[in-house]
Amino acid sequence: MEAKKGYKAKSTHLMIAPTKLRRVANVVRNKPYTEAVAILESLPQKGAVYLRKTIQSAAANALFQNKNLDEEMLYIKILMIDEGPRMKRVWARGRGRRDILLKRMSHITVVVDEIVSVGE
């Protein structure tokens, strides 16, 4: 018996720190698709826009690959926020010194799947 994998979408090299994205991701993890999109549209954080677009892309992939699916029957199965590469920038300090400023990037991976009813 083979397990269903779901429908995937990825966004990579986003210029936002993973910790900031994870705060928003924890709000919508394991929620139905329509409810998650509604929540993300009302949140003011920058990360909510990135998450909403990635979740909508995964849902579009699901509807394209399986014409029998309905948006109402999708839920967020997996939502991962991973750390991407870091850009190093120089930050000038007093007395001619400098520090290294790390600008962190993020990768988002979303897998949506069909809600399976108990009777099946």
State the Cα–Cα distance between residues 1 and 47, nearest whole angstrom.
Answer: 38
Domain residue limits at 51: 7-114
CATH number, domain with residue 49: 3.90.470.10
Total number of domains constituting the chain: 1
For the stretch 59-106, pLDDT in tens is 999 999 999 999 999 999 999 999 999 999 999 999 999 999 999 999
2 found inside a domain = no
78-103 CB burial, b ≥16 within 10 A, e <16: ebebeebeeeeeeeeeeeeeeeeeee
For the stretch 4-58, pLDDT in tens is 689 999 999 999 999 999 999 999 999 999 999 999 999 999 999 999 999 999 9
Asked if 54 and 9 touch (Cβ cutoff 8 Å), the reply is yes
What residue type is assigned to position 107 of the chain?
H
Distances (CA, A) of 21 to 8, 64, 106, 117: 18, 27, 8, 31
